[in-house]
Amino acid sequence: MPKSDTEVAIIGGGAAGIAAGRRLAKAAIDCLIIEARPRLGGRAWTVQDDLGNALDLGCGWLHSADRNPWTRIAEAQGQTVDRSTPPWQKPALPVGLSVDEQKAFGRARNEFLERLEVIGRKSPDVPASNAFEPGNRWNGMIDAFGTYFSGAEFEYVSALDFDNYDDTENNWRVKEGYGTAIATHGEPLAAVLDCPVLQIDHSGRRVKIETAKGAFTADQVIVTLPSAIVAEKEFLFTPALPEKTEAAAGLPLGLADKLFLSLTNAEEFEPDSRLYGRTDRVATASYGLRPLGRPLIEVYFGGRFAKELESGGEAAFAEYAIAELAHLLGADFRKRIKPVRMHCWAADPFARGSYSYAKPGKAGCRLALAEPVDGRLFFAGEACSEHDFSTAHGGYLTGVAAADQAIAARKR
């Protein structure tokens, strides 16, 4: 049985919880991760296909990789960091979208982003969709790009928050899986798994954490739950913390789901090439061919469209992708592809989505969610990051910050 008393309890063992735990352990503070799933990593999750390829069902890209702490950690673990150019920074295959059309789309998207930057710096905050040029032929495709970036269509997303994101545009990958690197970093930490937290009672001298496996007590608690979970659990804290529920509600989790397909005679395509699905609407998918040179297709679905497909289960994603690829590459292409793995993140009870975006007018919720309570409750997780939100390195940095706040409060 895990010990039921600790100095700092960490609720959630994803990127943020693991980073917080490692920071506390370094300061020789006793801590325990309490995690609902049977594994560490949270929205970072690597599985293997039959050929032994690592498939990242959650985060896959070391965004801002040159300053991303996970890059250094993965390399120190002996994992292989691949620095080749990502498919979206190269021209796509000229199938369904000619080279000239791709250039026109690129220009329209850049102009949209320039307008978005201008309105993002003005007050009051408005939906990012205000940056669309009415009637522009490329609006659907630009919005589809928004669903991959934010997990939501631009009409739902704060222009200010979108503009706050800080990107060095270096995007690398871990060959053995981003999820592998993150979970491996958590291995030395004390953790109790399969243990959903039901309530955090901070009314007494020590904090009491009620879980499916009984109660735990701690001096301090670091909460790293996804913002969607904090928002939906109105009774998570006793006494209630309505300011946290409200801040979390301003930061819903957008949806991005990945489907991996196996591909025969894959050599026909360049490694890390790319195909767009529909180019005239937001409801479509994006296809990464031969990721890391492997005989696979990585299909990305986002926003409302992904949500709709989730209601039909995993089969609905495969059916859509296979039909769209057959339309682009010919009916015979169906025979070359087969669904391998995917995960429905909105249906996942311990995530309720993929990554956070701020609703218009709610960019300030990130700092409000991160604000400590009473020197005993601390908050971390990608949604708490003002400039690296939505990402695994954002999770890491907020985890370290929350642990530092807890350490400082202990000294006081």
Ligand X SMILES: Cc1cc2nc3c(=O)[nH]c(=O)nc-3n(C[C@H](O)[C@H](O)[C@H](O)COP(=O)(O)OP(=O)(O)OC[C@H]3O[C@@H](n4cnc5c(N)ncnc54)[C@H](O)[C@@H]3O)c2cc1C
By the criterion CB under 6 A, which residues form the site for ligand X?
A: 11-17, 34-37, 42-44, 58-61, 63, 196-197, 224-226, 229, 256-258, 345, 350-351, 354-355, 381-382, 390-393, 395
Looking up tokens 């009051």 gives 124
CA 250/CA 129 separation, integer angstroms:
17
**Measured from the CB of residue 265, what is the shortest distance to ligand X in angstroms?**
27
Question: What is the token pair recorded at 219?
Answer: 């001096």
CA 5/CA 209 separation, integer angstroms:
10
Among residues 139 and 220, whose Cβ is nearest to ligand X?
Answer: 220
Among residues 17 and 250, whose Cβ is nearest to ligand X?
Answer: 17
Among residues 12 and 252, whose Cβ is nearest to ligand X?
Answer: 12
**Measured from the CB of residue 137, what is the shortest distance to ligand X in angstroms?**
29
* Cβ(219)–Cβ(8) below 8 Å: yes
**Measured from the CB of residue 332, what is the shortest distance to ligand X in angstroms?**
30
**Measured from the CB of residue 103, what is the shortest distance to ligand X in angstroms?**
26
How are beta strands 46-48 and 54-56 bridged, if at all? Answer: antiparallel
**Measured from the CB of residue 57, what is the shortest distance to ligand X in angstroms?**
7
Q: Tell whether omega for the bond before 349 is within 30 degrees of 0, i.e. cis.
A: no
- Count of beta carbons in the 10 Å neighbourhood of residue 401: 20
- Count of beta carbons in the 10 Å neighbourhood of residue 96: 16
Among residues 172 and 276, whose Cβ is nearest to ligand X?
Answer: 172
> Coil, helix or strand for 82?
strand
In sign, the C-alpha dihedral spanning 203, 208, 209, 213 is negative
Question: What is the token pair recorded at 260?
Answer: 């991996």
**Measured from the CB of residue 342, what is the shortest distance to ligand X in angstroms?**
9
CA 96/CA 279 separation, integer angstroms:
8
Q: Burial level of 292, CB count in 10 A (0-12/13-18/19+)?
A: middle
Beta strands in 12-168 (DSSP E): 31-34, 46-48, 54-56, 61-62, 81-82
Among residues 65 and 108, whose Cβ is nearest to ligand X?
Answer: 65
> Coil, helix or strand for 109?
helix
Among residues 131 and 369, whose Cβ is nearest to ligand X?
Answer: 369
Among residues 138 and 379, whose Cβ is nearest to ligand X?
Answer: 379
**Measured from the CB of residue 411, what is the shortest distance to ligand X in angstroms?**
26
CA 387, distance to chain mean position in Å, is: 14
**Measured from the CB of residue 343, what is the shortest distance to ligand X in angstroms?**
7
Among residues 97 and 302, whose Cβ is nearest to ligand X?
Answer: 302
**Measured from the CB of residue 218, what is the shortest distance to ligand X in angstroms?**
14
* Separation in Å, CA 398 to CA 23, 76, 95, 164, 386: 11, 21, 42, 16, 10
Among residues 229 and 251, whose Cβ is nearest to ligand X?
Answer: 229
